[in-house]
Amino acid sequence: MFQKILIANRGEIACRIIKTARRMGIATVAVYSDADRDALHVEMADEAVHIGPAPATQSYLQVDRIVQAARDGGAQAVHPGYGFLSERESFAAALAEAGIAFIGPNARAIAAMGDKIASKKLARAAGVSTVPGFMGEIRDEAHAREIAREIGFPVMVKASAGGGGKGLRVVKNEDELGQAIISSRNEAQASFGDGRLLVEKFVTEPRHIEIQLMADKHGNVIYLNERECSIQRRHQKVVEEAPSPFLDEKTRAAMGGQAVALAKAVGYDSAGTVEFIVDGARNFYFLEMNTRLQVEHPVTEMITGLDLVELMIRSAAGEKLPLAQKDVKRDGWAIEARVYAEDPYRGFLPSTGRLTRYRPPHEGTHKGVTIRNDTGVFEGGEISVYYDPMIAKLSTHAETREKAIDAMASALDRFEISGIAHNVPFLAAIMHNPRFREGRLTTGFIAEEFPEGFKGAPLSEADSRLFVAAAVAAKLRRTQRAGQISGALNGGHQAANSFVASIGGREVAICDAHLAVGSLRLAIDGRIFEAIVDWFPGRPQLILKHQGQETVFQIARHAGGYHLSQGGRELLVSVRSPYAAKLATLMLAKAPPDTSRLLLCPMPGLITALSVSEGQSVKAGDPLAVVEAMKMENVLLAERDGVIAKVLAKKGDNLGRDDVILEFQ
């Protein structure tokens, strides 16, 4: 067994690998860029080596520097994590030449299966069902148009190398093809150093279901069940679960058998994942093979009881698999939600900045429910513009799917993040979505359930009463505390009160409101409401126990009331005396500034292209500029016809959020 390993990655996956290595008694070496000098993985590792500037192309993608860091640190093996160099054949070969083990598959398997074009040809030769498309690299836009016309729209333009939704676009018609090719190639080149693309048919009403493989260097290959990864946005997974609510035993065995056959055909070893698209009739088609550890591996670990990182390390050290196919368990249900630094209310635009508060829910097992949080950040740390926007991967495990979902919803309500925008409300809304809870999933789920973008989960009448009660309880508790100040009247005693609460644009009458020793009683529009309240001023969470159900609110003071967040809803609830509420109606609303003639940068990022010049006429839908942030290209389109008056930015500029790019006449 290795005595020391180097982790050629950053963030949560580097921290995840360090935890297993530490448990196995293996010393670790971290690598870091200028932007990650104070990162959590650097703090956790036994040693750390600086490898270059912040951009990944100048640090984490520099093979020579990482190999030298492994040499200098005395590491006998390197774990690549996922992304970056994890599927780069040349990296595995360079390590082999240096006499350093690669904790991943052999270079031949990476070359065969890490390339989407080559892997499709091999899969077809091995008898694996594949998606209709062109089995090769597209030469140019004209070639892509020819292929697309032949197989029919919609099609997918996707990077031949890499994964994670980078370099992938769904093209609905021929007009969208040109821009899709440009963006996909740029993203692929920036993320993987390989701009090759392929075109294939987009299967309608698809589910994304993948098979987890594990193999050793002795020819043994097993599959560790499947993961359902259909909840995606921009082809990047958002929520994953294991097992799939859709597969039956026959289909599971058939998919697993094909995945194993494919792995054996290329002499595969280590962890790997074979991704399939599955239609409504349970027909499945090979998409690609990821020759690395997947982001969503925790859900597989939770239902099998296995540590995939440990199995990878042992495989790289030459050990045989400790179990056979018949020994693989499938115990309970696991859900993973990816917490991203992005604003779901602004089209999921990336968010950067300092985490002024970061308090994930407590990890561990209680009453048959397990909560796990894989993260690479800490309170006070920075979310950088240079890397993937993931903050954490929150996972839950329980006896049934329903219990695992309920546990996830509760855990998300307890996840405290501030300082940046984040997608926790969106994830919570998914957990409460009836279609998700029923398991009626496709890769189009998010687009179909939120066609106008995310505006928050719907608020029922019962939910509205809970929000109002929470705000009134906070108001009463603060008044009680103020009354406990020495010399104040009514010290410690809260008399009955009447208020007017405003929620969602409507007013609610509150009468006979009392809070004593945590017991709340009030009338909301004449209906009695009783609950137990656990909250003290200054706490970011308020717990309301009503009719046997516990609801956790994130709470913050706001002028005239409280900002409350729970279950995918974020609402401002004002609580005023009847007289103050009457006066509030006389206040003039401040009109927001008119920015209709400006194109503003939607997030901090780099201007990689400007498609217009001063005096140029544009039509609605025309591309104006491209902003790159967190390894993703964002094409800014004209919202209406117009003429460009001024161009205030240029290619290569680093802009902040709401900086002006150009003005219209």
What single string gives the DSSP state of each residue in 183-250?
HHHHHHHHHHS---EEEEEPPSS-EEEEEEEEE-TTS-EEEEEEEEEEEEETTEEEEEEES-SS--HH
Cβ-contact 555, 562 below 8 angstroms = yes
Instruction: Give Cβ neighbours of residue 261 (< 8 Å, ≥ 6 apart).
Output: 126, 127, 128
Note whether 359 and 416 are within 8 A (CB). Answer: yes
* 288 belongs to the catalytic site: yes
Measured CA to CA, the distance from residue 59 to residue 33 in angstroms comes to 6
Per the rule left: phi > 0, alpha: psi between -120 and 50, beta: everything else, 336 is beta
Give the list of residues 6+ apart from residue 312 with CB closer than 8 angstroms, or none. Answer: 79, 103, 104, 270, 271, 293
Residues 117, 128 contacting (CB under 8 angstroms): no
Give the type of residue at 150. E
Q: Which of 87, 200, 288, 633 is catalytic?
A: 288
Residues 6+ apart with CB under 8 A from 329: 303, 304, 305
Whether 10 and 387 have beta carbons less than 8 Å apart is answered as yes
Q: What is the DSSP string of 126-185?
A: TT--B-SB-SS---SHHHHHHHHHHH-SSEEEEESS--TTTTEEEE-SGGGHHHHHHHHH
Give the whole-angstrom CA distance, residue 278 versus residue 301.
Answer: 23
Q: How many CB atoms lie within 10 A of CB 292?
A: 27
Alpha-carbon distance of 88 to 61, in angstroms, equals 10
What is the rounded distance in angstroms from the CA atom of residue 218 to the CA atom of residue 485? 74
User: What number of other Cβ atoms are within 10 A of residue 511's Cβ?
Assistant: 14
CA nearest neighbour of 299 among 376, 366, 245, 219: 245
Backbone angles phi, psi at 26, to 5 degrees: -105, 130
| In contact, 130 and 122? CB cutoff 8 Å | no
Backbone angles phi, psi at 395, to 5 degrees: -125, 145
**Residue 257, φ and ψ in degrees, nearest 5:** -65, -45
Judge whether 341 and 422 are in contact, CB under 8 Å.
Answer: yes
212: left (phi over 0), alpha (psi -120 to 50) or beta: beta
CB-facing half-sphere around the CA of 93: CA atoms within 13 A: 8
Cis peptide bond upstream of 154, omega within 30 = yes
Chain-centre distance for alpha carbon 284:
25
The residue written with tokens 């769904």 in the block is 170
So which residues are the catalytic ones? 288
